[in-house]
Amino acid sequence: MSIHAAAGFAPKYASPVARAKIGAAPDDGLSAIQALGQLAHYARDTTIFSDGDDALYAYKIVKGTVRLCKMLSDGRRQIAEFLRAGDFFGFEWRDAYSLTAEALEDTVVVRVPRARLDRLGEERRDVQHMLMSLLCNDLCVAQNHLLLLGRQTARERVVSFVLALAARNKAKSGDTLAVPMCRQDIADYLGLTIETVCRAISELKRARLIGVPNRTQIVVLNLAALREIAGHDA
């Protein structure tokens, strides 16, 4: 199931060739990759690797959630991406990791030595293609994130965040979304303070666009109106 999620990760940016092969044998490259790895467990709020570490392993999430972030020396933090079961990461750098990966809840991963992954990439064209597609997808995600951080208001950012959660789950109006990250993580992802995130969420709640039964769930009440606020296709 986690395999399946990863195979469907970046269909939009997959090359024709990669798509054909993945289509023919959905988890082909990935199962080969996973065969090279071993399971590892990380507890809540533990570091998987740090910015600057030698990039010895690539990872695939089996269960849990991971945040990728960069820090300034004074402690300011920017989260680049949240990753969930099925997502693949750590293959994006050749020498050293350029950011830090932390488990934000108890997380199980498959850990694959980079040397082996590189060798597999040499041998198998489909694996090479898949890595390329994943990279392209990450880049595309990052570029949309740039637009959000540089040019959107606090309300728009929070709405975009909710819509991104909804898109991942293919949620419709009425569906409930799991929110595994705390408010501070959301703030650091959106380039805001925790208070501003709270206020924006409360505002959406008052406007009946979302419901907030508790701190780890959000109910999508009016998807169309949310999309209207975000202002561009998410």
Partner DNA sequence: CGTTGCTTTGATGCCCGTCAATGATTGTGG
Partner DNA sequence: CCACAATCATTGACGGGCATCAAAGCAACG
Q: In what order do the strands lie in the sheet with 176-178?
A: 176-178, 217-220, 210-214
* Rounded to 5°, angle at Cα 33 from 28 and 38: 135
Among 113, 183, 211, 227, binds DNA (CB under 7 A): 183
CB of 154 to its own copies, least distance (A): 12
Alpha helices in 74-182 (DSSP H): 114-123, 125-151, 154-168
How far are the Cα atoms of 14, 120, 232 from residue 144, in angstroms, in the given order?
A: 18, 31, 10
Nearer residue to its own copies within complex by CB, 32 or 136: 136
140 is a contact residue toward its own copies (CB under 8 A): yes
Please select the residue that binds DNA; options are 50, 195, 208, 232, rule is CB under 7 A.
195
Distance CA 181, CA 201 (A): 14
Provide the minimum distance between the beta carbon of 133 and DNA in the complex, in angstroms, as a whole number.
Answer: 34
The least CB distance from residue 160 to its own copies, in Å, is: 11
* Nearest CB to DNA, comparing residues 68 and 197: 197
Q: Which residue in the set 63, 111, 155, 227 belongs to the binding site for DNA (CB under 7 A)?
A: 155
Which is nearest to 72 in space by CA: 201, 208, 188?
Answer: 188
The arrangement of strands across the sheet holding 57-63 comes to 38-42, 107-113, 57-63, 88-89
Residues lying near its own copies in the complex (CB under 8 A) are found at 12-15, 17-18, 70, 72-74, 76-78, 80, 92-95, 98-99, 118, 122, 125, 128, 131-133, 135-136, 138-140, 142-147, 149-152, 188, 190-191, 231-232
